[in-house]
Chains A and B, each alone.
Chain A
Amino acid sequence: MPHSVSPEPTPHEDSPMPQADAVPIKTEPDTQTPDIDMSDAPIPTNAESTKVNLDDLFDDDSDPEFGSSIPQVKSEEPSQRSPSPIKISSKSSFSDPEIMRTFYQRLFPFRYLFQWLNHSLVPANDFAHREFAFTLPNDAYLRYQSFATADLLRKQCIQLLPSRFEIGPVYSANPRDRKSLRKASAFRPLTKELVFDIDMTDYDDIRTCCTGASICHRCWAFITMAIKVVDVALREDFGFKHIMWVYSGRRGAHAWVCDKRARDMDDSKRRAVAGYLELLKGGDQSGKKVNVRRPLHPHLDRSLNILKDHFQTTILAEQDPWAEEKAAHLLQLLPDHTLRAALQKKWDSSPSRPSPAKWADIDALAKSGSISKSAKDLLEAKQDIVLEYTYPRLDSEVSKKLNHLLKSPFVVHPGTGRVCVPIDPRKVEEFDPLSVPTVTQLLTEIDEFEWDDSDKKIADWEKTSLKPFVEFFRGFVAGLLKDEKSGVKREREESGEAMEF
């Protein structure tokens, strides 16, 4: 069973594999298939090829955390002070080595990423034992990387120029040492944020505006609805506070639930949360996908209230899901034979009726008497339909496993060039995926930045449209650290109490 396969050691020790043989995996962003996930099938890596020279790693004249092009009067090495601007032409691809290098050097917020994963300002095992996995420019996939500090991670990124990297769990030992441990069982995942992945591909059977990898504002509305429903459930029902939503760079969103309580959950609890939030069941052949008991569970009731309005606008008006012969599916979802036959007759004569009219027809015909079941049955069937078309479709496998890897926030999506920026759940309606800055755009913004006369030093990201996102992230991390700190203090007090006698 693939999903129970724990991350296995990479094969390069068992069979010496020349690095040219390393099997490259998924590069083309268009080919992103949600059903391949990184954590199950071990993927060959060419770890050998990337053994970092220690001298390089501890190269002492370290770059400042954030490059800045402020004129430094005292600087003796003008060449180091400001990386020479790179030419950005329309031809340059987003994962062009020069672009990626500049991005990691000057824009990526390593410091906050470190604080976020470390849960404290002082380097600790939460960060040091955390697995990172890099997708290298040659498409090799490099797992079990770990770093003691933000600086070392940054160095490695600048050196390897990964097109993206993913974040895994905190292990019981340093992932890099996993093979030298005396017992294999000493290496096991301990904690990880509870994560969710919503991907537009799961909506392909109900979205009519785009298919596959492309998105538009209309279909982004599906993601907006999903975020609203999941976010409120996580906060109100499960009591989680630190939930970060991140744009996945193309057509989806990820959630990272960072509360300590969430991080410590084992697989059975993750499965419970995923199950609680999952509603649509069954493959393409199973007919009606929503089958819930009545009265509706408070979570579903609340979700239905949130989704009702979206159903009118997003689904009926914009998506027009039952145009022409697609109306057959709608008929299939209605339990009432008499009503179905009446609707069929009506729509056969005017197949081009828009979806809102068809939706209204249901009630109109029911009222005029073409109904064999009770009005309550019809209402429930209609509620089920609303839920089928609007309720979040989560890729639940991602959430169920502690050792699943998920793409880090703020990396660049190699296909679109867009940065995976956090989404403020309070302003989720305002988020526009198509206006998220691309890496090339950001680099241009740095170059075009105009100095005012104040000699305050500002970081490069502050000169760009990435600023609000990094600031949001910083605020989020600060909130997390604050809670984390008081939690630690409380623990210490409690244990101190027991020791005193």
Chain B
Amino acid sequence: MIRHDYSRVDPKRRANIDHKKRQFANPEFKQQNYEHRLNYYILPPTAEITLEEFETWAINRLKVLSELEACSFRNRTPEETAEYMTSILNKYMPLRSNSSRSQSLQEERKKDHYSHFILRLAFSATEDLRRRFSRLETMLFRLRFKDDDLRERKEFISNLNLEWEEVGESEKREFATELAAASGIKKGDEQEWFKVDWERVPELVEQRKVLLKRGKAYVPQREQMSLVVAEFTKRLDEALELTARALPRLDEDDRLAPILAHLSQSFTSPDAAYSSSDASIDGLSAPTANSIDTLSKHFPLCMQNLHMTLRANSHLKHFGRLQYTLFLKGIGLSLDECINFWRRSFKLMTDEKFQKEYKYNIRHAYGDVGGDANRRGRGYTPYSCQKLLTEPLPGTGQSHGCPYRTFTQDNLVALLQRTGINDRDLLKTVREDVSKQRYHVACNRVFEHAHKREIKKVKDDGSWSATDLDTILHPNTYFKRSWLLKHLGEGNAGMANGGDKMEE
């Protein structure tokens, strides 16, 4: 039996260009027609644009993406983010629905399409950039997907040809209770369900939002977004990988390369918020293992909590140790002193056990041992608030993370009282902040309360500028500012930033 090979193009229809001549043939550029507001960015653009458009479009999209990232750093809820982003999107990258009947519909979509692909070029070079780009593009896609016109969204989805099996009536009846329980939908509500391999909706599985049966996930229509978004991310990741591989072979003169390089540089990593200049604080002589107890009153709550737990139990678990070690490294504690500090703190432990099980990890955090990359990078950077607020919650027996987030309100208040915060009104507002998940706001509030007098003073005599008193987003900034404020008039006023910029 002769089978027809579908992947082959009908010879009559094939472009008849000798492969040797093909590179000289005129490429056929085509103006794309954008039917939908949303775009999976599968086909790259092929029409011509000016160099100026190339740059401004890219910069505009970059602006949108960095604002999105800022939202996630500030822990804004999805609703808050959507509200905040509306004006920004309208300004830089308006994208209207078909129903708006706007004249510039195609123009807007073209800009969206092109700018996406330009940034794809700029951000495919390293793994780090790729991951960030894909994360932010996913956020943007999700945002737009949510506020898309219902009917148009449906058309867009049906256009995607995702292979979803619909759940039949009999099956729906059979699992009615379970389906309702899994998705939190009231039983009476009529719902359509899809059945897919669970691997395609890992997000929903992780949050236990779908019913699982023998490897199949039953996804309610409502959660379709998750599927569409996951598919978007998956395709984008794959495409970025391919772009990265093609990048070195980019046949390019020197017009685009500098723009691309510039674009990716201005997308600096937020983890750089800590700079080594933080370690040198004017007037603070190098801390030693002995001075940590005294200094600990300047520590932010997350670190004070670790310190107190350590003193109480003479032990800390892995992630707590790591978080605290990096913080101590950040305030300028040397490796030797740090090892010394831990050795003395683990009072109940034999020397042998300490040497065997703990010393290596401390040295690794300082970049004293480990692979080449670790040592060249001098170990890990101290954790930022962002990092502490987004990592998984601590398990039983663990005490790392941000107490504003991990403690119940009652325990949090008790902890604050132990550190000497007794102001009733303050504790009440802290409770409110925490219940709205504004953890860093609560932390900054406590800081401002504890340093009320000093802050007023530096403000009054104008020795500190407003940026010196900007919101604290890093435990090490907290320490540095606290220490400087409490040691005013010792020849270091106005040195909060010590020459180097410390944030972003």
Chain A residues with a Cβ under 8 A of chain B? 1-2, 5, 8-9, 11, 14, 23-28, 31, 33, 35-37, 41-44, 139, 201-202, 204-205, 236-240, 261, 265, 268-269, 271-276, 280-289, 293, 295-301, 393, 396, 500-501
Contacts and interface: CB of A to CB of B under 8 A. Distances in A.
B401 A271 contact: no
A25 B357 contact: yes
Contact of B356 (A25, A37, A205, A272): A25
B216 A283 contact: no
Contact of B370 (A8, A282, A283): A8
Interface in B348-375: 353, 355-357, 359-361, 364, 369-375
Interface residues of B, number: 61
Contacts of A281: 393, 395
Nearest to B399: A283
Contacts of A296: 181
B184 interface: yes
Interface in B366-393: 369-375, 380, 387, 393
Those 10 A-B pairs whose CB atoms lie nearest each other, nearest first = A8-B371, A239-B215, A35-B318, A275-B206, A272-B202, A283-B394, A237-B212, A287-B408, A239-B214, A295-B181
Nearest to A203: B396
Contacts of B20: none
Nearest to B197: A261
A286 B212 contact: no
A42 B353 contact: no
A44 B360 contact: yes
A33 B357 contact: yes
Given A205-B396, A283-B394, A285-B406, A24 B203 contact: no
B18 to A, nearest CB: 26
A281 B395 CA distance: 6
Nearest to A302: B178
A392 to B, nearest CB: 12
A286 B406 CA distance: 6
B208 interface: yes
Nearest to A14: B372
A197 to B, nearest CB: 13
Contact of A5 (B216, B357, B360, B374): B374
B475 interface: no
Contacts of B361: 36, 41
B10 interface: no
Nearest to B414: A285
A43 to B, nearest CB: 7
Interface string B1-16: 0111100000000000
A223 to B, nearest CB: 16
Contacts of A298: 178, 181-182, 211
Given A275-B205, A285-B407, A501-B4, A236 B213 contact: yes
A380 B2 CA distance: 65
Contacts of A240: 215
A286 B403 CA distance: 9
B199 interface: yes
28 contacts: A1-B387, A14-B372, A23-B360, A26-B356, A26-B357, A35-B319, A35-B398, A37-B318, A41-B370, A201-B397, A205-B397, A238-B214, A239-B216, A261-B215, A271-B206, A272-B206, A274-B206, A275-B205, A275-B208, A283-B393, A283-B396, A283-B406, A284-B397, A285-B399, A297-B181, A297-B182, A298-B182, A393-B396
The secondary-structure label for the interface of chain A is: loop
A501 B396 contact: no
A285 B415 contact: yes
Given A293-B184, A501-B2, A285 B408 contact: yes
B370 A301 contact: no
B380 A139 contact: no
Nearest to B391: A1
Nearest to B4: A501
A35 B317 contact: yes
A286 B408 contact: yes
Interface in B162-194: 178, 180-182, 184
B371 A42 contact: yes
Nearest to B359: A23
B396 A202 contact: yes
Contact of B199 (A41, A269, A284, A396): A269
Nearest to A293: B184
A202 B396 CA distance: 7
Nearest to A292: B208
B342 interface: no
Contacts of B357: 25-26, 31, 33, 36
A293 B183 CA distance: 10
A11 B370 contact: yes
B484 to A, nearest CB: 29
A396 B398 CA distance: 14
B207 interface: yes
Contact of A275 (B182, B207, B415): B207
Given A269-B202, A271-B202, A301-B181, A238 B212 contact: yes
B299 interface: no
Contacts of B205: 272-273, 275-276
Contacts of B198: 238, 272
Nearest to B355: A23
Contacts of A500: 3
**In the complex, which of the residues B380, B395, B411 has the most CB atoms of chain A within 10 Å of its own CB atom?**
B395
Contacts of A44: 360, 369
Nearest to A233: B212
Nearest to B8: A501
Nearest to B186: A295
B267 to A, nearest CB: 20
Given A33-B318, A202-B397, A501-B4, 11 more contacts: A2-B322, A2-B380, A11-B371, A26-B357, A239-B214, A272-B206, A276-B212, A281-B393, A286-B394, A288-B408, A300-B208
